[in-house]
Amino acid sequence: MNVQDQDSPKQSRSINLLICILSAVLFGAPAISYTSGNRHIPSLNRALSDVPGFQDGWEIVKIAGNAVTDRLPLRDKAIEIDSYIDRKVFQEEPAFGGAATPQVLEGLDGFLFLKDAFDAACNPHGTPQSVSANLKRFSDIIQRSGRKIVVTVAPDKSSILTDKLPSDHPQSECHRIHQDQLWKSLKEAGIPGYIDLRKTLRDAVVQTREPLYLRQDSHWDSRGSLVAIKQVVKKFQPGVWSDSDIADNGELDYTGDLEAMRGGSKTDQSPFFSINRPSIKVIQEQYDEAYPAGYRRLSEMSGPDGSLIEGNTLMLFDSFGMAAIEQVVPYFKKLETMNFNNFETNKWIERISASQNIWFLCVERSLEYRLTYDMGSAKFLDALDKALNG
C-alpha cells in the first residue's frame, strides 16, 4: 500500500479523539441528564422493547440492552449523534433498531432512498410474470362482474429519480434489471384498467423539471401525487378532472420518513399543491382511529351534475394513497378506503361486493408480496370470483 494513502499518526490520533468524545457524549449525556432530573423519555415510531425475563435464555443480554437503550432519557439526541458519527466519521449510512445494514441510502444532491426497495427487487417474493398474471386475474374478476377497475402501481422513488441514485451500491444492477422486468411485464399483461404510472411520472419529471418525489422521504410530493390522480380520475369518469382545480400553496417544511429513519432531524422544503373545488360539499366523513389524523375510512360528497365520479368507490391502498388522500376525496361521490395491511379475505370480498368502482393503488416495492400472498393467492382469487361471478 502506498504510504501516502495511509492516515498519518497525527490524523489517526485526531480521529480516535473525535470518536472518543462523540461516544462519551452519546452514552454519557443521557445518564447525566437523568441524574440532573430530566426524566423525559422520547419515543421512536414503534413500541418500547420488552423487559427481559429468565425465559429468554442467552437472548437476555441482547433484550436487556435494547430495553435499557429504549428507556434512556434524551434517546433522540443520542440517535442523532450516533447518526452523525456513522455518516461524518465513518462515511456510511447509520443502521438502527438492531439492523445489520443501513435502511437509508444517500444519493446525489441529498436525495435519500429506502434500501427496502433494493432488497425487494433483488430478493423478490415472486416473478414479474407471476405477479402480473395474478394482478390480471384480480382485475378480470372485477371487470367480468360489471364493476369498473382502475389499477395503479406507485413507482418507488428509485424507479423515477434514477439519475439521483448512489452509483456504487452493490444492489444497483439487480435492482435496475428487476424493476425493468416488472414494469415491462405489467405493461404487456393486458391488465384491465391498468395505468403505467412509471412512464407517466418519468415523462412528467422531464416535462416539469421537478423531482415529483420528496428529497428526504420515500413518497411522492404533492405535485407528483396529482400527476397520478389526474390519470385515475380521467380513467374512471372523463370530464370530472380540471387543471384549474389545482391550488399552488407555495412551499412546505417537512422532515421526512427517511431522514428520521437515519436518525436525523433536518428539515427540507417541498412544493405544496392542494385541490380547491368550492362547489363540492362534504356530506359525511368517517375517520379510522387506528391510523394518523386525517385518514378517512369513508367520505361522501355532493356537487353539481357531472362533477363527481358516480357510484361507491373502494380504494385499496397503502402509504402512497394516505399521502394523497386530501387530493383524492374531492373527486368521488362516495369513497371507502381499505389499507393493504388490513387484509382479510372475507372482509375484502364483502367490501368489493358492495362497490361499483375499485381503485387498486399499491407501491412498487410491496407489489410482489401482495400479489404472491394476500390478494394474489389462489384461495382469495377463487373466493372472490365465486362471490362476484358465481
Q: 102-112, pLDDT tens digit by residue?
A: 799 999 999 99
Bridging pattern class, strands 268-275 and 246-254? antiparallel
Buried b / exposed e over 97-132, threshold 16 CB at 10 Å, is eeeeebbbbbbeeebbbbbebbebbeebbbebebbb
Tens of pLDDT along 318-335? 999 999 999 999 999 999
Q: What is the pLDDT of residue 118?
A: 92
Residue ranges of the chain with pLDDT lower than 70?
1-101, 290-296
Q: What is the pLDDT of residue 309?
A: 98
Q: Which of 320, 272, 295, 263 is nearest to 117 (CA)?
A: 320
Q: Which three cell numbers stand for residue 40?
A: 423525559
Instruction: Give the residue carrying C-alpha cell 386530501.
Output: 326
Q: What is the pLDDT of residue 157?
A: 97
Q: Which three cell numbers stand for residue 19?
A: 470518536
Q: What is the pLDDT of residue 53?
A: 43
Tens of pLDDT along 112-168? 999 999 999 998 899 999 999 999 999 999 999 999 999 999 999 999 999 999 988
How far is residue 317's CA from residue 362's CA, in Å, rounded to a whole number?
Answer: 6
In terms of residues, how long is the chain?
390
Q: What is the pLDDT of residue 168?
A: 82
The residues that bridge with 26 in the sheet, in sequence order, are none
Q: Catalogue the E-assigned strands of the chain.
A: 104-106, 112-114, 148-154, 194-195, 246-254, 268-275, 281-287, 296-302, 309-317, 332-339, 357-363
Q: Which three cell numbers stand for residue 163?
A: 439519475
Instruction: Give the residue carrying C-alpha cell 404533492.
Output: 222
Q: What is the pLDDT of residue 66?
A: 46
How far is residue 301's CA from residue 330's CA, in Å, rounded to a whole number?
Answer: 7
Q: What is the pLDDT of residue 293?
A: 59
